[in-house]
Structure 1
Amino acid sequence: MLDVLKNQRTYALVGHGGCGKTSVAEMLLYVAGATPKLGKIEDGTTVLDTEPEEIKRRGSVQPGFATFQWNKNRHFLVDTPGDLSFNGDLGYILASVDAVIFVVDAVDGVKPLTKKLWQEVSKFRLPTIFLITKMDRDRADYDMALNGIRNQLGVKPFLQNIPIGKADTFAGVVNIVENKGYAFDSSGKMSEIAVPADMQDEVDGLRESMMEEIAVCDETLMERYLEDPSSVSLDDLVAATRKAVVCSELYPVMVASGLKCMGGQRILQAAQLFFPSPLDVPVGQKMVEAEDGSLHPVSPDAPPACFVFKTLFDQFAGQLSIMRVLTGTVTPEASLLNVRSSAKERFSSMLFMLGKDTQPCKEPVGPGGIIAVAKLKETKTGDTLCEEKHAFAMLRPKLPEPMISYALAPAEKGDEDKVYQAMSKLLDEDVTLRLTRNEETGDMLLSGMGQSHVENAVERAKRRYKANPVLKAPTIPYRETLKGKAEVQGRHKKQTGGRGQFGDCWIRMEGGARGAGYEFVDAIVGGSIPRQYIPAVDKGVQEAAHRGVLAGFPVVDFKVELFDGSFHTVDSSEMAFKIAGSLAFKAACEKMKMVLLEPIALVSVSIPDEFMGDVIGDLSSRRGKVLGSDSTAGVTEVQAHVPMSEMQEYAKALGSMTGGQGAFTMAFDHYEDAPPPVTEKVVAEYKAKRAKEE
């Protein structure tokens, strides 16, 4: 088992949407002999993009998983989506791999989304190889991409390879460490060649710099290098490079063309040489941190534990729980405790994945292995499975909050339960989706990381579960408030032949500061209203305020002082005073000025500098107030306060303005007075809805 683990590699492909990750993954699988032919996104023949929505979009909407052999060594590969709408659970994936191949497009270079993804990868301090791909394309610019890695991502690149040619002349690479050239052909094969004569001077200079960079990471090697550079062998350089990469002190840079299958062998060799095994650590013994802060050693001999980091649906096997073996050794007949649900889960089998295909795993799997287990009854994404006597829950990475919500309704009345059940099943697969009900508006809300994310979930529900949900813009959670003061009476008197109803109260009501909330003051003296009825007045006011006055939205930020009233010894009751409180509130609202409040979001937009003017102009057209902007290495971050009602279609608008290079986050910030046109529109819609219901 130790020999197997020593040469095992578990890594993820990460990069912005369209940078070529899936093409690189297809190349690696083909070169390794895991697939008989090279799949292409344009033809819909890739192994890892298998969902109909992925083939239609020509882009990943969920992670793709592949287990394959390279030179008799097992590799576990995860191809992650590059669109921010579909990679909200990236933290779970990064917590489940040992290294990253970070893909940068040679045509577009580093984008704002690239920067955000690198920030996420950096949190996990994972050993990383940067791969500049699409080197065969027109406008491919290696130096531009390299400078983006250096200046925009803040990474000091270690030049493992430099390209021979570019665009239609891209033919191979020069390996700086080995001081050798390698030529590629379209079949994925590679042959050793001499370093091109016109590149030799450049290679010599880079090699000297490279040796100094490696030596800096190894004091013993540095001493030898300073005394006699010729005493440092190639094996010394490779060993020192591996140590520095594992410690995240060096970040090798490589080049390739996934579409033309050029460079796959070099990438696999580099992954095998420089990426850590599951047992390798920068310092000391590798540990797994639990939620309670305890640490658990990673060893094939430790009690087994697994982390479920993704759930997928398979049309034949049903629900598949994708998990990393954290520690210990797991067998196909394992029976482990789900720490969250306290359920004992028995594995009927273990599976290795290659896209949508699965292969039974009949041998034990140790730390770092990624396996799929079908039909676990009480297990969800984020759960830890382990031995009951050594139970712990792994500390889970924090997931981002959903950015956008849509109201969900059935296309036909009476299908509400069917729609709800279908969408609930999707929540098991995608932990970044939320399904809630807004008690205030009655809307069933589907929340996700972006418009595409939500729309894709609806398409899957229609295709898989024959439900027919319809997306609508959610009801904006406006509020109402009051300005001024009023002193009014609320009197409820009803006689029906038996015991009557009587409640009488006087209140002073005034508007409060924004965010002050509701305040009720009991100023009754002399027993004009008995103590037991005073809370009923308060409740009557609150219930009436919740129903709203202007447009049916809750009234907030006001103060009520109950100072007088009267009662009847027989006819008074809590219900009578509750109604009296409600009547008093409505009477005060008629005397005071009612104001509609609209929710304002804090919006942060990341775009290349050249789009700043367009983006700021668009935010202003949405009644936004720009708070400031900050530019770093060609990327501008704009912050603004924007009404939430103006942000429903912003994702599409930003994509159109920036050619897909923009990204934004949005969170509720505060309420402000709505301008008269907005108030008039909202009130008119409310009255029309009421008239229709009546």
Structure 2
Amino acid sequence: MTVFNILKSIKTSPRNYFNFNNVLQYSFRPCSNHVKFSEHKEISKIRNIGISAHIDSGKTTLTERILFYTGRIEAMHEVRGKDNIGATMDSMELERQRGITIQSAATYTVWKDHNINIIDTPGHVDFTVEVERALRVLDGAILVLCAVGGVQSQSLTVNRQMKRYNVPCIAFINKLDRLGASPTRVLSQMRSKLNHNAAFIQLPIGLESDCKGIIDIITQKAIYFEGNYGENIIYEDIPADMTVEVKERRHELIEHLSNVDEVLGEMYLEEKEITEADIKAAIRRTCLKRSFTPVMVGTALKNKGVQPLLDAVLEYLPNPGEVENYAIKETIKEAEPEKVLLNPERSDNNPFVALAFKLEAGRFGQLTYMRCYQGMLSKGDTIFNVRTQRKVRIARLVRMHSNQMEDVNEVYAGDIFALFGVDCASGDTFVTDLKNELSLESIFVPDPVVSMAINPVNSKDRDNFSKAIARFTKEDPTFHFHFDNDNKETIVSGMGELHLEIYAQRMEREYNCAVQLGKPKVAFRETLVSPCEFDYLHKKQSGGQGQFARVTGIIEPLPAHKNTVIEFVDETVGTNVPKQFIPGVRKGFLAMAEKGLLAGQKLSGLKFRLIDGAHHIVDSSELAFFLAAQGAVREVFEHGVWQVLEPVMTVEVNAPDEFQGAVMAQLNKRHGIITGVDGIEGWFTLYAEVPLNDMFGYAGELRSSTQGKGEFTMEYSRYTPCLPEVQEKLVLDYQRATGQLVEKDLKKKRG
């Protein structure tokens, strides 16, 4: 009887349900073949890859095929399959019902004696932080593009994230079997929209229902995938009608490589014979530098092109030893922290350094996903959290396969693993020796754009509600929670309506706490229209030591491209404002920036220039200057001209041609600006910029006006000044909520 069956039998006892429920969530299952997945390989035989793409491009389906062909799973299941099992990597019940990926899931497998760690990421912009933290710890990625949709809005976002973390990638054009598939159009979009120096290394043999196989341009062989699941690979000669196209594409590939690779460029200029090995070596060199992107083709659903893609991962993507990862070392003497190159090679001189990049908190304890960058860690070792300086003893090391896990005794540089019971935050660095003072750069976290009021339906569920909120805010740094004293409402903020809706459903399913979401609130901002001077004196005397502080300067708006940040600049000369009081002025300004006095929104796009001031030898203090800075901001609110900024979203709508007029009319009604239109065989893609405040309820309106065929995606673009009527309504609502409107009405009546 397996451990899983024993635990399953224990679970049937109600007394043991609570203790063992989470053990079953992370179940132990024997591997489907005889490969030792936990066996550690040398660093050159390890690959850490992510699979990223736009919504519905086939990421999870592709991962399912990879796991099947590598022997990790016994049978393939579809994302929206009729068997109601769902894909392996969509382990959450909500993911299987909706047919989307919500959480990134990690797994590992073996292909041709190489360990491959894979992270399958969501495609929706609402869960963009899952992609962000996955790419932070990965060495390479597969950028999946739909052969029909091509480069879409989230493809651009993923591409930016790869660029931010300098992650090399292979492009895989999926869904060749779909009606309207055109890999050549996708390639041209990669070059124009993503600015990739890209070229085909494979060509499809037939498209749509006639998709028979693929041609490897480098080896000049046709590859066919036979058998029920495409597991039998057959190599044959290129079909006669495609020989000319293959020669042209091979020449194009060599030209693109020659432009960015010196070795191949010299061979090309000298007209030397270029072999398969020369081309593969050039692709690897340029791919690692991100100067060239090899483009592969296939259809994961029809089991074509997956095995060659796995071969390309081994051939072209880097192993952990080929990627330069830096840690930051704090130094006392130098103002700038020192960058230290981490050494992934096995050696006693290399202390352990790892980054916690993802948390999953459950009843069984917090599961912390980590990436080891240097050194090794064994079961029983002690590690330290650099941020909190806390010591943790490792009782258990595991490697994840979706929601299943396998115990390991030790991990090395390049490994992705998980720990139980470690209290930390996402982005914390762990080391075995605090003396080295090494810490890794944390993960970029975008600001939330949508807020909604949230309340439990039943007041008795408040305990479960607070537990759920505490868990989700810790797991997801883009999910925020606070209580609004003015409106007396509990507010949650996130990356979109879907993001908050998913968490509301998870509270009901996982914590038996039904919640009610209020009307979404947009994260507006307040800023100045023109610079405004201030000269504020804070003076208070009430016996004993008083308070005295004077601040003089200018608050001015920042340029449009910096309208989401606030800056503080100390321009004082001399000793009128002693340097020890400057932090008090800065804190006072930042405290006022949390909530403006025009519409109760955060301040942004402002620069606070402190030019002069005055102090008293006895009565001045940091608190006095803190209060003086706040008074100065209030003074600027009275005399300055203010405006409200609103987030504008880049919206991409895809629908049949006959509904184009209706869709354009809808977006115009929502104050949208149409920036472009593409047409693909009966379907159009419309690009627009629309204020987020006008996008609520659009999903239902689009479905009803396009007979359910239309779909749209949106992502944050920038902040711009809102319309006068919107600003007026926000100001009136704020004055009504704070009682200012009532006071004004009373004064009018008295007058």
Give the total of aligned pairs: 592
When residues 647 and 276 of structure 1 are mapped into structure 2, their CA distance, relative to the original with a 3 A threshold, is same
Question: In 2, Cα distance between the equivalents of 1:393 and 1:651?
Answer: 43
Change (3 A) 1:161 1:534: closer
* Equivalent residue number for residue 222 of structure 1: 265
Q: How does 1:273-672 map to 2 (within 5 A)?
A: 273-281=315-323, 286-289=325-328, 292-299=337-344, 300-301=346-347, 302-313=350-361, 317-362=364-409, 364-376=410-422, 378-388=423-433, 389-413=435-459, 415-473=461-519, 600-607=645-652, 617-618=665-666, 621-622=669-670, 624=671, 629=675, 638-639=688-689, 642=691, 646=694, 648-649=696-697, 659-665=711-717, 667=719, 672=724
Label 1:629 to 1:518 Cα distance change in 2 as closer, same or farther (>3 A): farther
> By how many angstroms is 1:393 displaced?
2.0
* CA deviation profile, 1:395-436 (whole Å, cap 9, x unmatched): 123211111111111212354454223211112221211111
Deviation (angstroms), 1:342? 1.5
The answer (yes or no) to whether the contact 1:188–1:265 under 8 Å persists in 2 is: no
Alignment correspondent of 1:54: 95
Query: Normalised by the size of structure 2, how large is the TM-score?
Result: 0.70
Hey, what's the Cα distance between the residues in 2 that align with 1:686 and 1:225?
73
CA contact (8 A) 2:122 2:130 kept: no
Structure 1 segments unaligned to the other structure (5+ residues)? 481-511, 524-528, 536-550, 557-596
Q: Which residue identity lines up with residue 91 of structure 1 in the other structure? A: E
Q: Which amino acid aligns with 1:249?
A: S
The structure-2 alpha-carbon separation of the partners of 1:342 and 1:111, relative to structure 1 and needing over 3 Å to count, comes to same
The secondary structure found in structure 1 opposite 2:383 is strand
Change (3 A) 1:522 1:671: farther
Deviations along 1:111-157, whole A, 9 cap, x unmatched?
Answer: 12222221222222321110011112233222222222222222232
Corresponding residue for residue 255 of structure 2: 212
Counterpart secondary structure, 2:161 = helix
Cα distance in 2 for residues equivalent to 1:625 and 1:82:
24
Deviation at residue 166 of structure 1 after TM alignment: 1.3
In structure 2, how many angstroms separate the alpha carbons of the residues matched to 1:663 and 1:476?
14
- State the Cα deviation string for residues 330-371 of structure 1 (Å, max 9, x = none): 223332111122211222211111111111122x32222110
In 2, the alpha carbon distance for the partners of 1:522 and 1:103 equals 60
Per-residue deviation, 1:288: 3.9
Distance (Å, rounded) in 2 between the aligned partners of 1:668 and 1:346: 50
Q: For structure 2, list consecutive stretches of 5 or more residues without a partner in the other structure.
A: 1-38, 331-336, 549-597, 604-641, 743-751
- The farther-off stretch of 663-672 and 294-303 is 663-672
**Deviation larger for 29-38 or 348-357:** 348-357
Structure 2 partner of 1:65: 106
CA distance in 1, matches of 2:281, 2:143: 22
Instruction: Compute the TM-score of the two structures, normalised by the length of structure 1.
Output: 0.75
Query: Does structure 1 conserve the Cα–Cα contact (< 8 Å) formed by 2:299 and 2:305?
Result: yes
2:57 to 11, 16, 19: 19
Cα distance in 2 for partners of 1:344, 1:639 equals 49
Which residue of 2 is the match for residue 235 of structure 1? 277
Aligned 8 A contact 1:552 1:686 in 2: no
> What are the equivalent positions in structure 2 for 1:50-199 lying under 5 Å apart?
50-185=91-226, 186-189=228-231, 190-199=233-242
Cα separation, partners in 2 of 1:53 and 1:177, compared to 1, 3 Å: same
Which structure's CA Rg is the greater one?
A: 1
CA contact (8 A) 1:407 1:445 kept: yes
- The whole-number CA distance in structure 1 between the counterparts of 2:427 and 2:538 is 49
The alpha carbon displacement at 1:602 in A equals 3.4
Deviation, 1:445, is 1.1
Partner of 1:39: 77
Question: How many angstroms apart in 2 are the aligned matches of 1:9 and 1:303?
Answer: 22
Query: What are the superposed Cα offsets for residues 275-320 of structure 1, whole Å, 9 maximum, x if unpaired?
Result: 1110114xxx6534568442232323321111111112467x5421
- Give the SS at the match of 2:712: coil
Q: CA deviation at 1:23?
A: 0.3
Code of the aligned partner of 1:35: I
State the secondary structure of the residue aligned to 1:78: strand
* Paired residue secondary structure (1:68): strand
SS class of match (1:249): coil
Aligned residue for 1:341, secondary structure, equals: coil
Alpha-carbon distance in structure 2 between the residues aligned to 1:553 and 1:14: 38
Question: How far apart are 1:614 and its partner, in Å?
Answer: 6.4
Q: Which deviates the most, 600-609 or 86-95?
A: 600-609
Amino acid at match of 2:119: V
Structure 2 equivalent of residue 244 of structure 1: 286
**CA distance in structure 2 between the aligned counterparts of 1:552 and 1:176, rounded to whole angstroms:** 61
Output the CA distance in 2 between the equivalents of 1:352 and 1:479: 44
Q: 1:348 to 1:199 in 2, by over 3 A?
A: same
Measured at CA, do residues 327 and 474 of structure 1 come closer, stay the same or move farther in structure 2, by a change above 3 Å? Answer: same
Deviations 1:1-43 (A, max 9, x none): 9961101100100100100000000011101111111121112
- Residue of structure 2 in register with 1:560 after alignment: none
CA 1:517–1:254: 2 relative to 1, 3 Å: same
Offset of 1:233 from its aligned partner?
2.9
The one-letter code matched in structure 1 to 2:179 is D
Cα distance, 1:607 vs structure 2: 2.6
Letter in 2 for 1:5: I
Percent identical pairs in the alignment equals 23
Q: CA deviation at 1:52?
A: 1.1
Contact 2:328 2:438 in 1 (8 A): no
* Aligned-partner SS, 1:265: helix
RMSD value, Cα:
4.3
The letter of the residue matching 1:447 is: S
Verify the 8 A CA contact 2:370 2:417 in the aligned structure 1: yes
- Find the aligned partners of 1:16 and 1:656 in 2 and give their Cα distance: 24
Letter in 2 for 1:424: A
| Contact 1:312-1:319 at 8 Å conserved across structures | yes
CA distance in 1, matches of 2:693, 2:319: 50
Q: Is the partner of 1:109 in helix, strand or coil? A: coil
Give the Cα separation in 2 of the matches to 1:386 and 1:478: 41
- Match of 1:295, as an amino acid? V
Q: Contact conserved, 1:477 with 1:598, CA < 8 A, in 2?
A: no
